[in-house]
Amino acid sequence: MKYIYFLIFILFCSVSMKAQAFVYKPVNPAFGGDTFNYQWLMSSAENQNKFKDKLIEAEKKTDLQKFKESLNAQLLSQISSLLYKQQFGTDGLAEGSYTFGSYSIDIFPTSEGLSLNILDTKTGEQTQIIIPNK
């Protein structure tokens, strides 16, 4: 008898129970999630980012550092101009062979224009530059 009462009780309980559907709601606002999650997701991504923007790092330089870099660039430009004038004169490139440290430069005219053969004597690398005629 107990068994029958138990089955009747289970039968009535199962009829009164209701099922609920599971609903997925995305977290990311780009995929339909709540827009209030945006700031949290963005700060979490920025904290995990190991790459730094070089433009932001360049902006962090002080005015004194920027002035120093500018001054160095101007000095190096003046020195290279002086060396160029000492080696080639005010007329510019002239035919001949020149040596700068480990670089050997041969300058000669061709039918295409002025040809510069540059040879690195340490590595053996060679480059040819042709400056076209006017």
Residue-by-residue DSSP string for 53-94? -HHHHHHT--HHHHHHHHHHHHHHHHHHHHHHHHHH-TT---
Domain ranges of the chain: 94-133
The structure's pTM equals 0.39
- CA distances to 77, 79, 80, 83, 92 from 74, rounded to whole Å, are 5, 9, 10, 14, 21
Give dist(CA 99, CA 104) in Å, integer: 5
pLDDT at residue number 13:
64
Give dist(CA 5, CA 79) in Å, integer: 106
Give dist(CA 124, CA 75) in Å, integer: 31
Torsion of CA 80, 84, 86, 92, to 10 degrees: -160
Could you tell me the mean pLDDT of each successive run of 10 residues in the chain, 134 residues long? 75 64 82 83 86 72 86 86 74 79 87 88 90 78
pLDDT at residue number 125:
92
Residue 102: DSSP 8-state = T
pLDDT at residue number 44:
87
